[in-house]
């Protein structure tokens, strides 16, 4: 069975007709295919073969508890970057020992909370953070596993807003500092140094950046081992890019990525930890919206839809282009160039420019492909637009996995002080 496809001109997710969902749930909303997630996870898992590894799905790509549950049932651990994400993973039934905690700004409260709840390892991003984790763990009479996130100084050649592995980025520490931290670590009572960690960026579309950073990680591992440190885990992060189209693949063949991992790390006697996000969920989701009005202008024509930048930020934030699809294919010919825009009062609320479209009218359903990652999770309530629903499809079943809040619920969160 295909994940997303057309049957008699109608868009389907698995066995569910998108039009039927839209008859019951007000647009805009996200639709995810469980099968698409499972297939991508299995593909990665199978390609890794005999390499000793663990997959930790990167929660920030799509943190809906049902999505986490899908990956958890496949045996995935979770990579989290906040206490909120940690609690979501727990709510999806993931045990603390299957969660790694990354990110540059872990607070004392977060560190204490996840030590109480259980954690597999912290990926350490700075010396002050190492000191704090050691202090907190010592006070609690615990020894916590830590890996140090090394900055491999590799430019992933992706959008500058999602590059994380160059010298000027806020992430990770230089190899010189890594060595110094390992040395200090031998004196620390609250932490046990288990390995190195790395994540060079997201939506990476060539193997070369990975090749370069893996080769550096290997070199550093060997050097630390020669100095007598027993490394047992290497976390290679995520970052594999995807093609933006219906059922799109990863932009790097998964087999080649896994072959590279085996080439560089198979003989090091370390467990390889992976933190994929986008490559597992990006093409497992679409965003469904309705046309509000076509607006014919002197210079430009606009198709104004009911989804906007607050619902799906990637086009505005990263200049990302997501393919616009008709939910029911038109038999009419394309007859004009349209800019696809939302109702938010910002010019950057533009999804695509100059798309040749058949005539469309109010109420027609459209969808954006490849909206499963960094879509719903980045949404805001700008313009007091409620967060939109998320729908999970499995075979011929579908269910709302996050409801749209009412406007009164949103307004009720505001408080008017009695002196006002
Ligand atoms: C965002 C992130 C990931 C996941 O990146 P993708 O590009 O979605 O695969 C993995 N690890 C860390 C530390 C991250 O910050």
Q: Is the CB of 241 under 6 A from ligand 1?
A: no
Q: Which residues are catalytic?
A: 345
d(CA 267, CA 58): 26
Residue of 79, 86, 129, 314 to test ligand 1 pocket, by largest number of atoms within 8 Å of CB: 79
Q: Is the CB of 315 under 6 A from ligand 1?
A: no
Range with the lowest mean pLDDT among 161-165, 180-184, 198-202, 366-370? 161-165
Residue showing tokens 């999970």: 392
Residue 110: both structure tokens together = 């977060």
Count helices and strands (H / E) in the chain: 12, 20
d(CA 317, CA 319): 6
* pLDDT value of position 313: 97
Looking from the CA of residue 164, the nearest atom of ligand 1 is 15
Q: Would the pLDDT of 157 be above 90?
A: no
> Mean pLDDT throughout 38-45?
98
* pLDDT value of position 96: 98
Which residues pair with residue 16 across a beta bridge? 13
* % of the chain with per-residue pLDDT over 90: 89
Looking from the CA of residue 374, the nearest atom of ligand 1 is 8
Residue 201 Cα to ligand 1 middle (Å): 7
Beta carbons of 391 and 301 less than 8 angstroms apart: no
> Mean pLDDT throughout 55-61?
98
The CA-atom distances, in angstroms, between 43 and each of 39, 48, 156, 192, 331 are 6, 9, 23, 33, 37
Q: Is the CB of 102 under 6 A from ligand 1?
A: yes
pLDDT digits (tens, 9 = 90+) for 97-113: 999 999 999 999 999 99
Query: pLDDT-derived band of residue 178, with 50, 70 and 90 as boundaries?
Result: very high
Beta carbons of 307 and 388 less than 8 angstroms apart: yes
Residue 356: both structure tokens together = 């040749």
Residue showing tokens 């479209």: 357
Query: pLDDT-derived band of residue 402, with 50, 70 and 90 as boundaries?
Result: very high
Kind of pairing, strands 233-235 and 271-274?
Answer: parallel
Residue of 239, 279, 373, 377 to test ligand 1 pocket, by largest number of atoms within 8 Å of CB: 239
Beta carbons of 324 and 305 less than 8 angstroms apart: no
- The CA R_g of the chain, rounded to the nearest whole Å, is 23
d(CA 99, CA 94): 8
Looking from the CA of residue 277, the nearest atom of ligand 1 is 8
pLDDT digits (tens, 9 = 90+) for 304-317: 999 999 999 999 99
HSE (CB half, 13 Å, CA atoms) of 146?
Answer: 31
Residue 11 Cα to ligand 1 middle (Å): 30
* pLDDT value of position 297: 85
Q: Is the CB of 58 under 6 A from ligand 1?
A: yes
Residue 153: both structure tokens together = 């100084």
Question: pTM of the full predicted structure?
Answer: 0.97
Looking from the CA of residue 123, the nearest atom of ligand 1 is 13
């Amino acid at each position: 069975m295909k994940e997303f496809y057309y049957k008699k001109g109608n868009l389907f997710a698995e066995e569910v007709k998108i039009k039927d969902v839209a008859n019951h749930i007000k647009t805009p909303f996200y639709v995810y295919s469980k099968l698409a997630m499972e297939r991508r996870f299995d593909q990665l898992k199978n390609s890794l073969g005999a390499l000793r590894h663990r997959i930790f799905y990167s929660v920030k790509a799509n943190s809906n508890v049902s999505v986490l549950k899908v990956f958890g049932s496949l045996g995935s651990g979770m990579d989290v970057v906040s206490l909120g994400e940690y609690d979501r993973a727990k709510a999806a039934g993931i045990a603390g020992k299957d969660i790694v905690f990354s990110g540059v700004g872990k607070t004392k409260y977060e560190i204490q909370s996840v030590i109480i709840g259980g954690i597999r390892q912290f990926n350490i991003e700075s010396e002050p953070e190492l000191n704090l984790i050691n202090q907190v763990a010592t006070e609690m009479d615990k020894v916590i596993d830590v890996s140090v996130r090394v900055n491999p100084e590799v430019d992933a050649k992706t959008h500058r807003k999602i590059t994380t592995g160059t010298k000027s980025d806020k992430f990770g520490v230089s190899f010189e500092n890594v060595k110094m931290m390992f040395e200090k670590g031998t004196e620390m009572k609250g932490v046990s140094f288990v390995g190195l960690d790395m994540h060079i960026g997201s939506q990476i579309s060539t193997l070369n950046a990975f090749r370069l950073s893996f080769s550096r990680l290997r070199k550093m591992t060997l050097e630390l081992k020669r100095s007598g440190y027993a490394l047992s885990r290497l976390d290679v992060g995520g970052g594999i890019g995807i093609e933006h189209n219906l059922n799109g693949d990863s932009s790097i063949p998964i087999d080649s990525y896994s072959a590279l991992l085996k080439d560089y790390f198979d003989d090091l006697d370390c467990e390889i930890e992976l933190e994929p996000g986008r490559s597992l969920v990006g093409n497992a989701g679409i965003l469904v919206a309705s046309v509000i009005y076509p607006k014919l202008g002197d210079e430009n024509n606009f198709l104004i839809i009911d989804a906007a930048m607050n619902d799906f930020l990637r086009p505005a934030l990263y200049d990302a282009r997501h393919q616009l699809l008709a939910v029911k294919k038109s038999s009419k010919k394309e007859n004009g160039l349209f800019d696809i825009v939302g109702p938010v009062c910002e010019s950057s609320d533009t999804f695509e420019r100059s798309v040749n479209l058949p005539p469309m009218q109010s109420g027609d359903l459209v969808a954006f492909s490849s909206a499963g990652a960094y879509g719903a999770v980045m949404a805001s309530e700008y313009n007091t637009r409620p967060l939109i629903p998320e729908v999970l499809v499995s075979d011929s079943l579908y269910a709302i996995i996050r409801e749209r809040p009412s406007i009164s619920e949103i307004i009720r969160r505001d408080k008017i002080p009695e002196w006002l």
